[in-house]
Every structure is written in C-alpha cells, then in structure tokens.
Structure 1
Amino acid sequence: MRRKIPSTIALAVFEAAARQGSFARAANEVCLTESAVSRQIATLETYLGVKLFTRVRKQVILNDAGRLYLKNIARNLSDIEAHTAALMTHKGVGGVLELAVIPTFANRWLLPRLRDFRARHPDIILNLSERPLPFSFDETNFDAALNFDHPSWTNVVKVDLFDEELVPIVSPRYFDTLRLNAPADLTRFPLLHKSTRPEAWKHWFEITGVSDFTPVPGMHFELYGMVIEAARAGLGAGLVPKVYVQDEVERNDLVVPFDLPLKHEKRYCLVYPERKKDSELVQVFRNWVVSIEAEFVVGVK
C-alpha cells in the first residue's frame, strides 16, 4: 500500500517557514526563492486538505493546525537528518542506536562508561533521549531503553541489571558528620526529597529502627541529580541511589554516614521491543551493558 507521506522537500520548507515565522527568511535558509517557498507550502496544504498558515495582508501566521503539525513532524525530520548523516559518514558500516534513558541514571552511570563502548564499537552511533517513564515502543523510534522494571512494559524483552539502593548523603563541608552516631541523628537535619518518592525517607528510617520522629521540613526536587546538588550545597540530607554518588563520596564532597541501603524499591533494566530481539545493534549494546553491569556489581560489593 502506498504510504500517505507528502514531499520531504515540502515538509522541510514548511518546518523552516514555521520555525522562522516568515516565508522570506525560510527561503533564505533553504536556498529557494520566496515564491518557491510559497508554492511548496501551497502544495503541502493541498495534499493535506488543511491550511497551515493564516494569511493576513502580506504576513503569514502559523495557525493551530500548523502548530500541531510542526510539533508532530519536527522531531521526525531531525531523526531523518541524523540517520542520513550517520549513514553518509559511516558508508553503511555500523549503525545508529536510539536509546531512551532515565536522565540522572544516564548522567551518573551510563555516560561515564560510554567511552568504553565507543572504543569497542567505533562504528556504532548511540543517541540518547530522556524518557523517565515507561512508554510504548510502537509509538516511538527507540531501539531500546534503560529504565526501571515495570508492569506497563509490554511486548518487550527485559534484561535485569541491578536493584536500586538508596542511602543517606550529607556534606561534610556544612555538617559535622562525626556527630552522626546513629540513624536517628539524621532526624535533626532538613530532609531532601525526590518528589515522586515522598515516602522514601520514612521507609529508610523504618528499616533502621527509627519509627517515632518529627522530621525537619525539607525541600522536594523532581530529579535525584537536584537532590545530590542540594546536599552538596548543605541544604540538608538526601536519600539517593548509591550508584549516583560514588564519585562524590570518593572525593569526600559527600559522606554516606550510614551505609544501610533501602533496597529493592526498583530494579534497573534494559528493555527493547520483541521485534528488535534479532537486531545486531541491539544485541551488541545488550552484551556490552551486561558485561559492564557485571563489573560494576563486583566493584561495589
């Protein structure tokens, strides 16, 4: 069946005109005349059966339909451009792997190890995009994801990595950590929270035997990376995945006063759609992640 896809030239011209807010500026960007840009837009509108711009005197203004269409196609055009550039650069050798990641996990665990992946597989380009929650691969162009295990992952292959372990952190620069003799001593600190894990501190105190206390009011943050930076700045005590703060602890920027982790809250995993199980690129990345994870687990024991 023939695909209902308009001319890519018309799409590129539309994207430029919508982004620039002007046919004249778009013409300069795509190296066409203004009248040629106008014709391409008119051809696209005829194909779609929808007006994308409102003409007001000599001005053109993107309308609601145009804004929606721009939002939906802009990323796809960027993906086509990136894949084309990668293919031209590598002459068909290797490939491009699109990976969805949890932002802080990517920054704190994955990125510091990617030099090893590039050294082993220089012909593979790995593109990372932020996706903190599970999603449907059928609605994206992702090849795989590094995320948490969750029942909403369907029609996927899951490769378990390691459990999340939350530990308390404080800054030795702002607090006298030598006076922290028991977990209950942390109840005197402002407690820094991750917004989506508001009960984490309560659970941690429970497993350490502290059940009756009135917490000092503390700040809430969307990302663990923010909690870590707030702890470094002396704003209180954070409760964060141990894997995220190894470097800071080694540099003594942060201290784990009690290495009593809150375990099994979540499990990190690599997931990819079942249709990708025979993909050579996905299998190369899978094998690398599993090998790196094994080295990491041994290293933190």
Structure 2
Amino acid sequence: MRRRLPPLEQIEAFIEAAEAPSFRVAAERCALSPAAFSRRIQAFSSFVGLPMFERRPGGLRLTEAGRRCLSQLKPAYLELRRAAASVVEAPGEAQSVTLSLSHSLAVGWLIPRLDAFRAAHPEIELSIKTQRGAGDMRSGEADLGICYADIDLGGLVSQPLLDVCVTPVAAPAVAAAFQARGGRLETQRLLSVAYPGGLWSWWARETGMDTPLPPAATYDLLHAMYEMPSEGFGVALAATPTVWPHLDSGRLVRLDLPFAATPGGYRLAAPADRRRRSAVGAVWRWLESEADRTRSLTPARIAA
C-alpha cells in the first residue's frame, strides 16, 4: 500500500519551527495559537515516527532526524509555493502582491504613499511584510522586497532604489542646548541602530570629525530609535528617507552638522519568476517612480 504524505500544514509548521527563533514566533507566522501549533508539530512527529526536536540549554533544537527531514522537505515545499504563486493571473480579477521591507522604511517612507498607489493601481491588492532580510522572497512569502545594501540578494533580480544619508538629530530643546554649549557630541548620549553597526564612527570619519565619540546605545528598529530623541533622550544618527516625517513634524531637528552618504543604500529585489508577473512589474515600476521623486527632493531638503 502506498504511504500517504503528511498534510501540507504540518510540513509548513515543521519548517517554520525549525527556522524561527522560537515556537512562539513560528506559531505567529502560521497564524496559529501556541497550543494549536504544538499539536501540528506533535502530529508531524507522530507521522514520521521520530522526534523532530529535543530540549537543550537555551531552548528546543532539531534532532538528527529533524535535520534530515528539513533538508529533504524544505526544497520541495518552497518549490511548491513558488509554483502555486506563479499560476497565471485571471484577467479582470484583483491581483495580490506582497512586498517585504523593514518596519522603519515601511512606516517612514512607504505607508504615507499607499493612497497614491491605490489610486494608480486599484486592481492590485498590495500587502506588506516587515522583514529586514530577503528570507520572505526566497521562501515565496513575498513577491518583491526592498533591502538595505548589507543584505545578501544572491539569486534575486535587484537594482539600486533609494540613497541613504545620515546626520545627527535631536528634539528641539536638546538641539538648542547642544548649540548653546558649543556643539560637542562627545558630551551627548548617542543613539544608533544595531545594523549596520558602527555608524557613528563611520559618520565621524566621513565628515572629518577628529574627536573620539562615546559608544552609542543601539536599537533593533530605526523607527523605535527615533522615538527616544523625540522625547528628549539623546542625539540620534538619523537616516534619509526614514527620518523625514520626524523632521517635517518638528519632533526632531538637525544639529547643523553635515550629512554623509552611506555606500549602497536600499535595493529593490525580486525572484526572477515573480518579477515577470504583470502585477509585480506594476508595483516595481511604481516604486521606481516614487524613489525618483524622493531622490529629486532630497538635495533641497539636505541643504535646508
């Protein structure tokens, strides 16, 4: 008798559990409660007849059987997802496109432009996944993405999209006190993002600052970092284009210090088969046009 396959939802749960930092995160990715997610993992282990995970110091880890299953199942699972997503779009029907990008770029640059996108492309349902890396594009969960230059985009079609410049910013009261006291950064509590690291040192070298700067307090999310100086806690090294909403609102102001252009900036990327879809191509071209508009306005805003 031919042995049946495990249900696809069990395979999906197992792959997510194997690659997520915790079962809780994996359950969220599958839109399941922790209890329901655990039942799927248990059912998959029962089907295989071997334990897939074992408890070790620091959390659950794959067993040897689990590692074998992952290496054999994941390529087939991803290929099935890609094949399902590449089904020809029916004319006249709403077309769904998923865009992956960092939380900070989504909040600070993309979301304020979504009304314009909907007006230009009412036939496309654009969904957003906030992830800094390219994993969602490779897994088939995102059709295209915007990634910073330090992200590996090997195997994907990509091109430059947005330039990034950085400069110190602070709340208006902190900026006024900073100028009144001689503008010495070494006396300030400096804030930065964790990735890419060492930005304050890089900025100091690029702008010819000779004074050693104290280590910066770092944050995983750029937008979360902006909230700290907005409330008066320190001086942040802000990046365009994500800082513009905070400067436009007056919550943050520049410290009359120079901008420095980072190498690489943001890149637009997609798997080659997804890039050929008409709806994905339309989103790609719209992002290019919005990036061109941003680029045309940046020099005047930097000089202001």
Judge which range, 290-299 or 151-160, deviates more: 151-160
Judge which range, 149-158 or 116-125, deviates more: 149-158
* Alpha-carbon contact 1:102-1:131 (below 8 Å) kept: yes
SS at match of 1:160: strand
Q: CA deviation at 1:102?
A: 1.3
Matches within 5 A, 1:196-275: 196-211=195-210, 213-216=211-214, 218-258=216-256, 260-275=258-273
Structure 1: 4+ residue segments shifted above 4 A: 4-12, 15-18, 20-23, 48-52
Instruction: Give the match for residue 274 of structure 2.
Output: 276
SS at match of 2:205: helix
The yes-or-no answer on 1:19 pairing with 2:18 is no
Aligned residues: percent identity?
19
Q: How many residues align?
A: 261
Closer/same/farther in 2, CA of residues 214 and 5 from structure 1, 3 Å limit: same
Closer/same/farther in 2, CA of residues 19 and 129 from structure 1, 3 Å limit: same
Q: CA deviation at 1:131?
A: 2.0
SS at match of 1:220: strand
Closer/same/farther in 2, CA of residues 6 and 123 from structure 1, 3 Å limit: farther
* Alpha-carbon contact 1:190-1:215 (below 8 Å) kept: no
* Alpha-carbon contact 1:180-1:186 (below 8 Å) kept: no
- Look at both structures and tell me which one has the larger radius of gyration over its CA atoms: 1
Instruction: Give RMSD over aligned pairs.
Output: 4.4
SS at match of 1:295: helix
Q: Which runs of 5+ in 2 are unaligned?
A: 13-29, 53-61, 85-89, 300-304
Closer/same/farther in 2, CA of residues 297 and 273 from structure 1, 3 Å limit: same
Instruction: Give the match for residue 298 of structure 1.
Output: 296
Amino acid at match of 1:238: A
Q: CA deviation at 1:139?
A: 3.0
TM-score calculated relative to the size of structure 2: 0.68
Q: CA deviation at 1:7?
A: 5.0
Q: Which runs of 5+ in 1 are unaligned?
A: 24-40, 53-63, 84-89
Q: CA deviation at 1:105?
A: 0.9
Instruction: Give the match for residue 106 of structure 2.
Output: 106
**Residues 41-67 of structure 1: CA distance to partner in whole angstroms, max 9, x if unpaired?**
79x955x55689xxxxxxxxxxx99x9
* Alpha-carbon contact 2:163-2:295 (below 8 Å) kept: no
Instruction: Give the match for residue 163 of structure 1.
Output: 163
Matches within 5 A, 1:40-79: 45=46, 48-49=48-49
TM-score calculated relative to the size of structure 1: 0.69
d(CA) in 1 for partners of 2:231 and 2:115?
Answer: 30
Judge which range, 136-145 or 187-196, deviates more: 136-145
